Chains A and B, each alone.
Chain A
Amino acid sequence: MSISRRNFLKGAGVAGAAAASTAVPGCTGTRETNKPGDGPRYGMVIDLRRCFGCHACSIACKAEQDVPLGRFKSWVNVSERGSYPNVRRDFLPVLCNHCDNPPCVSVCPSGATWQRKDGVVMQDDEICIGCKYCIQACPYGVRYTDPKKKSAEKCDFCVHRLDQGVLPACVNTCNARARVFGDLNDPDSAVSRLLASTPVQSLRPAMGTDPRVFYIGLDQAAAKPVKKQSSLLEA
């Protein structure tokens, strides 16, 4: 994949992404992601009015990220309310929020969890000591311990695909086209235009994490409690 095909990386963004991907892993601290003009800042909007809970994202992630049985990096919570015949069912896809103030990065003692300038919260298996602080610190329950590697795994927005100009696996396969992904720093990107035109919500805003996964049509009642969904075994 040539650089010229990365039509999503506009102008300074190319340099920004390149710098981030070659950065020495380490605790970069928080709120150090690219500002507008510095390079891309990735984010996702999930339009719950479109999502029909099909789990294509869950399984696409499983394959792309080689996730073991019993664990998930991407999942769909289902909740049902009301009494017959006034019943509704809501679907809530969840994944790492790639927060702008990620508590998992702050608590990581080894530097295994770090954040790229483009906002992707990364996890380095080689460095992880398996202390599980990050799992405790994450208010969204989207991290798990890999049974073999003993490292704390998580969604990385499929950076290996992003770096080749390809959509993350969950976005690519979404039959509802409920997931919109791109550069929040580019005002012309689909994700920015959607944020500009549509009210959005995020999960547990009171935690101060500043998620960069946004929802359209999120019913906070359906979002609570946020279940631990990364591991069906520990749920």
Chain B
Amino acid sequence: MTKDTKITNPAGNKHDEDVGRRVAVKAGLLAAVGIGSGALFHGLTSVARADKAPRSTSGPKTQGQADPDIGELARADVDGYAGRTGEKRVGVPTTCMQCIAACGVIGYREKGRIVKIEGNPHCPNNRGMICAKGQAGVNQVYDPDRLLYPLVRTGKRGEGKWKRLSMKDALDLLAFGGEIAGRKVDGLKTIYESDKPQEFMFHYGRSRIKNAMNHFQKTAFGSGTQGNHTSICETAKWLGNELTMGKHYDVNDAAYSKYILIFGANVLEAHTSHSYIAQRVIEAKAARAKIVTFDVRLSNTAAKSDEWVPVLPGTDLAIILAMTNVLLNETVNGKVLYDEAFITKWSNVTIEELKAHYARYTPEWGESESGVPADTIKRLAIEYGSNKPSSIITYRGFVGHYNGAQAEWASKTLDALAGNFNVKGGITTKLGGKCKDGYNDKAAKDHADLTRKAVKFKISDGDDLHMPTHHSCQWIHEMIAEGSHGRPKIYMTYVYNGAYTTGDCQRNREILCNEEYIPFIVAVDVAMSETAACADLILPDATYLERWAMESAASYAQKKFVQIRQPVVKPLGESMDMQDIFIQLARRIGGGINTLHPYDTAEKYVRTCVELQTADNAKSGKMFYDSNDQPLKSDPWEYFKRYGVLLQGNKPSYNTHAKAVSAEGKTVDAKTGVVWDPHKAHVSDTDVASKGYTGSKNAYKGYVGQQIDGKTYAGFKPDKFNKSGRFEIRSGFMPSAAEKVMADIKDFLTPEEAPWVAEHLKSGLPSWVPVPEHRKRTDKQLVMISFKVNVQIHSRSQNCKWLQEVYHTNPAWLNPATARKMLGKGVKEGDLIRIKSEMPELPWRKGKGSTSVSEITARVHLTEAIHPDAIAVSYHCGHWAYGRYASGNPVEVEGGNTGAEPAGENIWWQEGNKAAKDPTQWSEVAGVHPNWIIPNTPARVSGQFRSNDTIVSIAKA
């Protein structure tokens, strides 16, 4: 405990005062277990880690295995069990998709209905446990407003008038075109046969069917006009990782860390690997690791941390830079805190260069930008640097800013400097299993003559951004409206709800509802999303519990594995797996695209993937292992269906960058030391000679390894651009961003700092970039941030009644001192307030940088658990569609409701209240969505949606 920062949780306290109150466990028990002999408090520390639990080594694990730390009874397993009524529940292993973590789960089916979901104990990641969201997956299947039949619009676009169609007619309409509400539209076949296949755009959310999707749209159809959803959360993080460690995905090996710094990441409520990183953070805590969380508000993660350090939104980068300065300059017991050997061997800078560059970023400077006391920055940096292995966990709170990519780059630099990369308990690059693919590795090769080279409209990367390696999805609507890069004729969305999930919702709706911009919108979804509500045709998607896929998550067990998605129940109504929709469309379009889809069902495709990999294993000597890490003896496909996983490694793998690789027959780039295969990257000999690795287009695709001191190592493999295999702290890709960034920020800098900021930006080393607009925030204004809670997923769980009843409205968190200052002394919990965007426009965005709606209303939640300069409004709420549970608005269709079943239960939280007529206004039914007043303007370097940067004022409503 220290003076300046905060709370110690119960685990950190010595609860001696409570010992006297402990229950005297009576008679027999006392005698039996001998309580009362001065027992120590630290029972927690004696608890073993789950992956050290004894396991049977003879054959596959079956029900009957227990986790000895939590009791002698077994976890629920694939064998099934009898429910309360005595009815048998059949267990079907599959993959959760409430959030993106893709936990292994078992769905239990009773009399044809899915009634219960448990974690799959065979999954190395979540090991039999799942969160509240995963538990509520049952609700996805039986949502009374679920879309079970195709709908075609009968009124104006967005008006909400629908007519039911058969699936056959709907697929015909999409394939061959026809009339929608009196207007003729072209179908996919016409576009496929035209010279502009790129007029078919596919925009996906959490799809998990990437191979089938890319095969249909790019390889077979020939269109690369595609949108994703990454920039809503983590585009900036991915870029920061790619600049330094090459691959975009990092894994904090938290279970074995001694010290964990968390920046703007809510791992105990909503992380991208939620259940299994949360389990491991708690395990680290049980093993007495220290956890420190920097966050604008006291999230549950911060609440369970040893310290919560409140941060002014957007200044995390300053804290990281200042901590790096401390790490470079402080010593403990005469020893330096940095890992000079790692930096010298693997990075592309020297300690001396770093010392010179970081000299300016003192803890005192960090305090001046962030408000975190210099002493705290210094103390925590020393702790982090002297308790190894340690690592930094970052996420959307950290990167959802103008300076997000720079922050991630700086954070990875700090982890490298501390020597935490690819070590046990540190931070690693993703290990994920992979099967050969039935489309890429078979269909496309068998019929190579029929494949197409995809062409695209350049509308996914914003305009004038620096390196949007994962695109800028929130700007796509705007690009379509602007039109100069081309407009899709058919805009097909798949579980993507851009109208709600990106900013400036009013503008999104206006663009989507304009038939001049897009003639034909098709939405594939399980629910009437806000985007589907703007469509012409809606196809009902099978829920994630009703379909097939080959899944692979980042392995937190540090060994590769693939996981099955298979139906627990048959798709309800006429709902259909998107992969099957592709097959059905291919059949209708005919010709090459049909031949390129040789599987009749998604099931056959997934099975082929396993069979191809099994054949490849036999050739290459690779192996499948069972969930006990033993070589798999039984049929892989049968094992996969029965237990849900196939392991592709049986022991944790670290230090992957230091693995030796063969350079034989490959080209060595003299300038960088990169060993590469120009042929694989389609680079000509002329280019190899004249431009080298760095200058040749897509040369990184031929990367083999990195030469260091005459040896070739796997290195830090590039993923998106021609970076070397070194850990690149100095990036050759960033100086060229300086001009654009300076154009944005120069008006917001003081005359004193402008020159050095510009100079640092050109240095190619991690540097300070403020959130420009925040520099002109007045003391009457706040920064609005958004956040996620433990029982909801970003936007797609609000049709789940069990989650909605726990969290269905989202009062705005406000510090009571701030509330009294800005709203008057009489302000009370639950008062209605107006939140008004006062976000200035950056010069390059004049006229397009502000939102169409500038104000929302919300009830206020007065809490000491938030920084006084911020106001926090969670996501999840304020739906104006998505069915009755989400918004209070049932889906109404000509000829009756299409839903899975009538709502038999009283939606108690909506009683006496009505859904808001104007969704920008607070309703007791659903709260309010903050995105109405968040601009879509991307962060200049990465394209990131700036979810946590909006400057607002508040007033009583």
Segment at the interface with A among B63-71, B254-262, B597-605, B701-709: B63-71
Is A21 an interface position by the 8 A CB rule?
A: no
Question: How far, in angstroms, from A185 to B63 measured CA to CA in the complex?
Answer: 24
Interface residue B43 (Cβ < 8 Å from any Cβ of A): yes
User: A residues 62-85 with Cβ under 8 Å of B?
Assistant: 62-66, 68-70, 80, 82-85
Tell me if B381 is interfacial: C-beta within 8 Å of chain A: no
Q: Would you call A128 an interface residue if the criterion is a C-beta within 8 Å of the partner chain's C-beta atoms? A: no
Quote the shortest CB–CB distance from A180 to chain B (angstroms): 5
In the complex with contacts A84-B865, A171-B70, A172-B75, A192-B22 CB distance below 8 A: no
Cβ of B303 and Cβ of A88 under 8 Å apart? yes
Q: Does B73 contact A (CB under 8 A)?
A: yes
Can you name the residue of chain B whose Cβ is closest to the Cβ of A194?
B43
Q: Chain A: which residue is nearest B25 at the CB level?
A: A195
Query: Which residues in A have their C-beta under 8 angstroms from that of B79?
Result: 1
Cα distance A134–B714 in the bound complex, in angstroms: 67
Q: How far is the CA of A218 from the CA of B275 in the complex (A)?
A: 24
Q: 1/0 per position for A171-183, CB-CB distance to B under 8 A?
A: 1111111011111
User: B492 interface residue, CB < 8 Å from A?
Assistant: no
Q: Is chain B's interface secondary structure helix, strand, loop, or mixed overall? A: loop
Given A87-B864, A210-B26, decide whether A5 and B39 contact each other with a Cβ distance below 8 A: no
| A231 to chain B: closest residue by CB | B908
Given A89-B865, A194-B43, A196-B39, A36 contacting B31 (CB threshold 8 A): yes
Q: Which residues 353-377 in B have Cβ within 8 Å of A in the complex?
A: none
Contacts known (A53-B790, A165-B64); A177 close to B298, Cβ less than 8 A: no
Is there a chain A Cβ closer than 8 Å to B81's Cβ?
yes
B37-56 contacts to A, CB under 8 A, are: 39-44, 46-47, 50
- With a cutoff of 8 Å between Cβ atoms, the chain B residues found around residue A56 in the complex are 129-132, 134-135
Contact of A205 among B23, B35, B138 (CB under 8 A): B23
* A69 contact from B7, B135, B906, Cβ within 8 A: B906
B902-919: contact bitstring with A at CB < 8 Å (1 yes, 0 no)?
Answer: 000111100000000000
- Check if A187 sits within 8 Å of B32, measured CB to CB: yes
| B33 at the binding interface (Cβ < 8 Å) | yes
Other-chain residue from A64, A160, A173, A186 in contact with B119 (beta carbon distance below 8 A):
A173
Q: B72 at the A/B interface (Cβ < 8 Å)?
A: yes
When distances are taken between beta carbons in the complex, the residues of chain A under 8 Å from B39 are: 196-199
Minimum C-beta distance from B199 to chain A (A): 44
Residues of A close to B203: CB separation below 8 A: none
Identify which of B22, B74, B84, B134 contacts A166 (C-beta below 8 A). Answer: B74
Interface check A107, CB cutoff 8 A:
no
Bound-state CA distance A232–B801 (Å) is 14
B908: shortest Cβ distance to chain A, in Å?
4
- Contact call A193/B70, Cβ cutoff below 8 A: no
Q: Quick check: which of B110-118, B188-196, B412-420, B582-590 contacts chain A, the rest being far away?
A: B110-118
Asked if residues B300 and A53 are in contact (CB atoms below 8 Å), the reply is yes
For the complex, give the distance between the alpha carbons of A91 and B282 in Å. Answer: 15
Q: Cβ of B18: which chain A residues have Cβ within 8 Å of it?
A: 199, 201, 217-220
Q: Write out the residue numbers on chain A whose beta carbons fall within 8 Å of the beta carbon of B155.
A: none
| A54–B790 touching, CB < 8 Å | yes
Whether B147 sits at the interface, judged by CB under 8 Å, is no
With an 8 A cutoff between CB atoms, is B793 at the interface? no
Q: How far is the CB of B743 from chain A (nearest CB, A)?
A: 37
Q: Does B308 contact A (CB under 8 A)?
A: yes
Any A CB within 8 A of the CB of B10: yes
Whether the pair A54, B131 counts as a contact (CB closer than 8 A) is yes
Which of B332-340, B444-452, B802-810 lies at the interface with chain A? B802-810
Fill in one digit per residue for A39-63: 1 if any B CB lies within 8 Å of its CB, else 0. 0010000011110111110111011
Q: Are B10 and A49 in contact (CB under 8 A)?
A: yes
- In the complex, 28 of the A-B residue pairs with CB atoms within 8 angstroms, ordered by the A residue number, are A1-B81, A7-B64, A54-B791, A55-B791, A60-B135, A62-B136, A64-B83, A64-B84, A65-B84, A85-B308, A100-B26, A160-B84, A164-B82, A166-B81, A174-B129, A175-B275, A176-B282, A181-B71, A182-B72, A184-B29, A185-B29, A185-B32, A189-B71, A193-B33, A195-B35, A199-B15, A217-B13, A232-B908
